[in-house]
Structure 1
């Protein structure tokens, strides 16, 4: 019994040694192919880097967005590396492994696509935004409730810098699917200012003073026909008006600054000409029968 077991062990050991010897022979015979494969892989990596730089250099002459230029350059680089890997598999006689990898990649790609629907949607939307001429770096836009300057467009999100210098990252899918208000598509922006004057004011003089103040303090406004002045309503404590004028800027920050300056200049002009900007006033009226004596008596009775 023991001799039979020893014979089986020796037989298994011999087979294992034969297998290892065969593998060693195959490895020794494949050393030239392995060296060539390593050289091909190294050349593919180096060539992909140079080709990426060359592609970026060529694309700089085009009108594509910077994010789209980087995307195309990366795709070219990845394609070169993949071609190098396929060539390496051929050199190492791993054709069957290549077919297995491609089949597995198809199944894995389907699973990954289902799991990353949101990310892929943002990537596809980023590619679309890269071709949209109406949206580019430096534009002042309003989208999805956020307003600011576009400082970056990548494959995931549009980066907007707001007036307070905070950054907002809006997913590309939301930008594509929702309306975009681009203030930079025109060369000018409108400043809208609301105010009110007291009921005792001469409305014609107020109108002339406001228009004159804007013209004298804003170089972009040269004539009064560029200013719209409208009285809006009889308010609770003032007659309210609205004035509108244009400035040569598409930045929301510059519009806010112009509005702030206009408030300062108009307030100074009103103070100089004794024009009142009233705050809400409430008047209480008492009947003639109510006197301070009666009020004191009622108060003491309640106590």
Structure 2
């Protein structure tokens, strides 16, 4: 069998191939250097843009965790753009297409697997920019009431009046209505009461208005309101509404308590009766002396 292998030809072919690679490297060296410079510039730009974004977010976002994740996302996006631009300068279009396709598939898989988590994350970002909800506000949401102590990328944490903490997922806060007591410095308080049927209703009205106005003086266009609501079972019921400085539910309860005490004092001083429910029992059968009942 004739041996066709020639070591000299093989070595010559290797040197020829290495020469072609060296020529390609020398020809592509300017593009390579340019790609490295462009990528480095994008990395530096991401660093300084992160600092600039941090300064801007400090005026809008009070949560450190939200600012940090937003800055990191921005940096990743800028660096990724620089990476793709560098690949384009190296004429690696095939690699670029493969990377984009792989990133799309991976992103879809991650999105489906972490659908609930991503929902809470994006909801947390929205909440961080929502002026109607800030740390320190007293809110009511999903049946819970308390002061907001933390807003992170997964949930908000509120401290209730009983000193317990409640963790509410961000998506539930976004999707459900919430009541914020702290966005306004003045709140309207309502007090319900009732007086006896033989009371002088006009005097009751004037006395209640006078008592509350002295205790909680109205400001600007505010006024103390008094309206009779209904004929109750044992009283004529009314509601009194007034304004006070209150940014929490506790302050509203304190104001209502003060109003009730002063109204009771004023009614007692003027002999106005606040009746309690009365139940009358009727016995139709009469009892004779001999112990027998008569129809």
Quote the Cα distance in structure 2 between the aligned partners of 1:115 and 1:212. Answer: 64
Moved more, 142-151 or 190-199: 142-151
Q: Deviations over 1:197-217 (max 9, x none)?
A: 111221122112211221222
1:128-139 matches, cutoff 5 A = 128-139=126-137
Q: Secondary structure at the match of 1:283?
A: coil
Aligned to 1:248, which of 236, 245, 249? 245
Q: Deviations over 1:33-70 (max 9, x none)?
A: xxxxxxxxxxxxxx9xx989967862465223424323
1:279 partnered with 2:269: no
Q: Deviations over 1:6-58 (max 9, x none)?
A: xxxxxxxxxxxxxxxxxxxxxxxxxxxxxxxxxxxxxxxxx9xx989967862
Offset, 1:280: 0.7
Q: Deviations over 1:81-120 (max 9, x none)?
A: 99xxxxxxxxxxxxxxxxx999987766544432221111
1:233, 1:241 within 8 Å by CA — same for their partners in 2?
A: yes
Aligned to 1:191, which of 189, 192, 195? 189
1:30-49 matches, cutoff 5 A = none
**Cα gap change, 1:105/1:262 in structure 2, threshold over 3 Å: closer, same or farther?**
same
Aligned residue-pair number? 237
Q: Secondary structure at the match of 2:182?
A: helix
1:79-98 matches, cutoff 5 A = none
Quote the Cα distance in structure 1 between the aligned partners of 2:178 and 2:282. Answer: 53
Quote the Cα distance in structure 2 between the aligned partners of 1:165 and 1:56. Answer: 36
Aligned to 1:167, which of 151, 165, 168? 165
2:50, 2:75 within 8 Å by CA — same for their partners in 1?
A: no
1:65-84 matches, cutoff 5 A = 65-66=62-63, 67-75=65-73
Quote the Cα distance in structure 1 between the aligned partners of 2:161 and 2:53. Answer: 33
Aligned to 1:64, which of 61, 64, 67? 61
- TM-score, with normalisation over the residues of structure 2? 0.65
What 5-or-longer segments of structure 1 have no aligned partner?
1-46, 83-99
1:297 partnered with 2:295: no
Q: Secondary structure at the match of 1:189?
A: strand
What 5-or-longer segments of structure 2 have no aligned partner?
1-43, 81-97
1:196, 1:278 within 8 Å by CA — same for their partners in 2?
A: yes
- TM-score, with normalisation over the residues of structure 1? 0.64
2:157, 2:165 within 8 Å by CA — same for their partners in 1?
A: yes
When the two chains are superposed, the root-mean-square deviation of aligned CA atoms in Å is 3.8
Q: Deviations over 1:140-180 (max 9, x none)?
A: 33322323332221101122233333322211111112223
Quote the Cα distance in structure 2 between the aligned partners of 1:293 and 1:53. Answer: 98
**Cα gap change, 1:296/1:102 in structure 2, threshold over 3 Å: closer, same or farther?**
farther
1:189, 1:248 within 8 Å by CA — same for their partners in 2?
A: yes
Q: Secondary structure at the match of 2:260?
A: helix
2:54, 2:67 within 8 Å by CA — same for their partners in 1?
A: no
Aligned to 2:201, which of 200, 203, 218? 203
**Cα gap change, 1:224/1:157 in structure 2, threshold over 3 Å: closer, same or farther?**
closer
Offset, 1:189: 0.8
Offset, 1:127: 1.0
2:54, 2:71 within 8 Å by CA — same for their partners in 1?
A: no
Higher helix share: 1
Offset, 1:281: 0.4
Q: Secondary structure at the match of 2:135?
A: coil
**Cα gap change, 1:155/1:294 in structure 2, threshold over 3 Å: closer, same or farther?**
farther
Which residue pairs with 1:120 in the alignment?
118
1:56, 1:70 within 8 Å by CA — same for their partners in 2?
A: no
Q: Secondary structure at the match of 1:199?
A: coil
Which residue pairs with 2:142 in the alignment?
144
Which residue pairs with 1:214 in the alignment?
212
